[in-house]
Amino acid sequence: MAQGRISGCTAPRASRARRAALAIALFAAAGAAHAAPAYVDIPATSFLSVIETGPDAKPQRIAAFALRVEPVTNAQFLAFVNAHPQWQRGRAPSLFADAGYLSHWQSADALGGTALPGQPVTRVSWFAAQAYCESEHARLPSWLEWERAAAASDTVADARGDAAWRRQLLDWYAKPSTGALAGVGGTPNLYGVRDLHGLVWEWVEDYAALMVTADSRDQNDPDRLKFCGAAALSLRDRENYALLMRIAMLSSLKAADTTANLGFRCARSLPTTVTP
Amino acid sequence: MNTICRHMTESEHESLPCLCCGHLATRCERTHGPDTEAVRRPVARWLATALGALLLALGLAFACARADEPLPGDSVYQLELPLVDQDGTAFDFGAGRGRPRLVSMFYSSCKYVCPMIVDTLKKTEHALDPARRAGVDVLLVSLDPDTDTPAALKQLAAQRHIDLPRWRLANTDATHVRRLAAVLGIQYKQLGKAEFSHSTVLVLLDAQGRIVARSEKLGEADPAFVAAVERQLAGG
């Protein structure tokens, strides 16, 4: 079922096959036992974000891109830090990762019993997430890319107007996050992307630009000159609490912060195609 | 539409340079007269150059002496950041190690940069003990690498009578702009082509690249910030 949806993407199959072949070749060369992480193409579209900077905001053009099907797991991040020891817990400079970085792992190079291989990796900073994505020849998605992919239900590209779907998201956000995280591999959405909702918060490349106020971390200082330009974003679509919560959470972070429920997935730009 | 500008009266607009008001950019296009001061008194100029070179050499020696030590974990020089300055010279962010440094980010959609940031930096310097002023470097990194080419930065430096090479205006690619903004705690958002919304922060780095003070005061020197610079110049 998911396969059928993925093949419904607009990108030509040949190019995807070529990329897959290349990825397989790379992994075979590296002698890796497991398959390369899957990415799916998300077609170009015009999209109106819940964040807007003016009263007459127009939909923005989002180019086609590839998005990682699943968030990065503990096992995958472990392989990364083993290959790049400068990102091990205890070795990453405090500039790039706070004291909580990977603190739920048993040690710098072992998951132990409390962090399962198939769980999404959490307690990672924005810098660490970026470094990981670079190792997959990828980058973090922009907020707009993430929001656009996450707007899809399993049947429609933009389910944001669907009250039942929104209710489903809210149920997750309302659930206390005290239990153990589930493994990755939830139900795929229209594009075949899994776990965009219901598992973890996710870093985005431009998380720091999701400014709701001049500086949401310093609300006691209403010094207007501190901020230049259209910082005071108005939030459209107040029905969409689930996304607003995510935006509020991301805006409150600093790049070295790590939290128990914050993971990430990567994205890749696609070669630009000429559109009429 | 620019929030701050929207809140201001016309006279406030006039007193505020083009920094925040992309749509009022034309106001910033006043031209400065030719810099006659610089060509006067060649002897004084030669002396100043020689003294500058001597200080630079001393500074380099100091930097080299410390370069072997590992960087502190909270040093912003942990960030690999390739920069290109107003002369088109490539250099690394960490090359500033060894001397205190004032860092900020700006953009120049109105061609002549955010003048208030430059003004505030100049006023901050002016408030320092003149004998020590030359001991601090200044680095301004553009948020808008597409517009702020080395040539544009060079032009800006000339127009604003910026003290090169102690001051350096630089650009880098968009990914590194985001990373630098992240380590400096500067928030910004691109609003359109060559228009940005950003927090205006002056950051003081010690010789090892640790953030020791920040100021969000614009238009005048912030006394607490000036005192922090003085402390760095006095040897930490």
pLDDT, tens only, A223-239: 433 333 333 344 455 56
Residue B75, pLDDT above cutoff 90: yes
Is B126 in a helix, a strand, or coil?
helix
A27 touches chain B (CB under 8 A): no
Q: What distance in Å separates the CA atoms of residue A40 and residue B126, rounded to the nearest whole number?
A: 56
Nearest-5° angle of CA B122, CA B35, CA B126?
A: 15
- Which residue in chain A is spatially nearest to B189 when comparing CA positions? A209
Summarised one tens digit per residue, pLDDT across range B177-213 is 999 999 998 888 777 777 777 778 899 999 999 999 9
Mean pLDDT of chain A: 80
Q: Which residues contact B48 (CB under 8 A, 6 or more apart)?
A: none
Q: Around Cβ A275, how many Cβ atoms within 10 Å?
A: 8
Short-list B83, B214, B223, B203, CA closest to B137? B203
Q: Which residues of A touch B25 (CB under 8 A)?
A: none
**b/e per residue, B74-85, with b = 16+ CB within 10 A?**
bbbbbbebebbb
Q: Which residues of A touch B94 (CB under 8 A)?
A: none
Q: What distance in Å separates the CA atoms of residue B155 and residue B133, rounded to the nearest whole number?
A: 24
Q: What distance in Å separates the CA atoms of residue A193 and residue A54, rounded to the nearest whole number?
A: 31
- Poorest-pLDDT segment among A11-15, B49-53, B82-86, B131-135: A11-15
**pLDDT tier for residue A168 given thresholds of 50, 70 and 90:** confident
Summarised one tens digit per residue, pLDDT across range B214-226 is 998 888 899 999 9
Short-list A142, A93, A149, A97, CA closest to A121? A97
Taking the CA of residue B58 and the nearest CA in chain A, the distance in Å comes to: 29
Taking the CA of residue B13 and the nearest CA in chain A, the distance in Å comes to: 13
- Poorest-pLDDT segment among A52-56, B28-32, B162-166: B28-32
Is B40 in a helix, a strand, or coil?
coil
A230 touches chain B (CB under 8 A): yes
Q: Which comes out higher in pLDDT, residue A251 or A20?
A: A251
Residue A172, pLDDT above cutoff 90: no
- Which residue in chain B is spatially nearest to A214 when comparing CA positions? B199
Peptide bond into B165 cis (omega under 30): yes
Q: Which of residues 43-102 of B touch A (CB under 8 A)?
A: 71, 73-76, 78-79
Which tokens in the block code for residue B15? 């007193």
Residue A264, pLDDT above cutoff 90: yes
- Which residue in chain A is spatially nearest to B199 when comparing CA positions? A227
Nearest-CB residue to A209 (from B75, B188, B200): B188
- Residue B169 is predicted with a pLDDT of 96
**pLDDT tier for residue B9 given thresholds of 50, 70 and 90:** very low
- Poorest-pLDDT segment among A195-204, A256-265, B16-25, B54-63: B16-25
Q: What distance in Å separates the CA atoms of residue A118 and residue A180, rounded to the nearest whole number?
A: 12
Instruction: Mutation target for B interface from A49, A98, A228: give the one with most B CBs within 10 A.
Output: A228
B195 touches chain A (CB under 8 A): yes
Contact B190 A209 (CB under 8 A): yes
Question: In DSSP terms, which residues pair with A40 in a beta bridge?
Answer: A67
Q: Which residues of B touch A228 (CB under 8 A)?
A: 2, 4, 19-20, 114, 196-200
- Residue B50 is predicted with a pLDDT of 63
Nearest-CB residue to B73 (from A94, A139, A215): A94
**b/e per residue, B195-220, with b = 16+ CB within 10 A?**
bbbbbbbbbbbbbbbbbbbbbbbbee
Summarised one tens digit per residue, pLDDT across range A92-139 is 999 999 999 999 999 999 999 989 999 999 999 999 999 999 999 999
Q: What distance in Å separates the CA atoms of residue B139 and residue A172, rounded to the nearest whole number?
A: 46
**pLDDT tier for residue B52 given thresholds of 50, 70 and 90:** low
A224 touches chain B (CB under 8 A): yes
Q: Which comes out higher in pLDDT, residue B111 or A159?
A: A159
Distances (CA, A) of A272 to A8, A83, A134, B33: 19, 32, 20, 46
Q: Around Cβ A224, how many Cβ atoms within 10 Å?
A: 14
- Which residue in chain A is spatially nearest to B201 when comparing CA positions? A226
- Residue A239 is predicted with a pLDDT of 60
Which tokens in the block code for residue A188? 């795929």
Nearest-CB residue to B181 (from A93, A208, A229): A208
Taking the CA of residue B22 and the nearest CA in chain A, the distance in Å comes to: 9
Contact B1 A94 (CB under 8 A): no
What is the separation of C-alpha A101 from the centre of its chain, rounded to a whole number of angstroms? Answer: 18
Q: Which residues contact A191 (CB under 8 A, 6 or more apart)?
A: A5, A6, A9, A40, A41, A42, A67, A149, A152
Q: What distance in Å separates the CA atoms of residue B214 and residue B201, rounded to the nearest whole number?
A: 7
Q: How many CA atoms lie within 13 A of B156 on its CB side?
A: 31
Residue B61, pLDDT above cutoff 50: no
Mean pLDDT of chain B: 77
Give me the sign of the Cα torsion angle A249, A255, A257, A262. Answer: positive
Short-list A193, A197, A195, CA closest to A69? A193
**b/e per residue, B60-73, with b = 16+ CB within 10 A?**
eeeeeeeeeeebbe
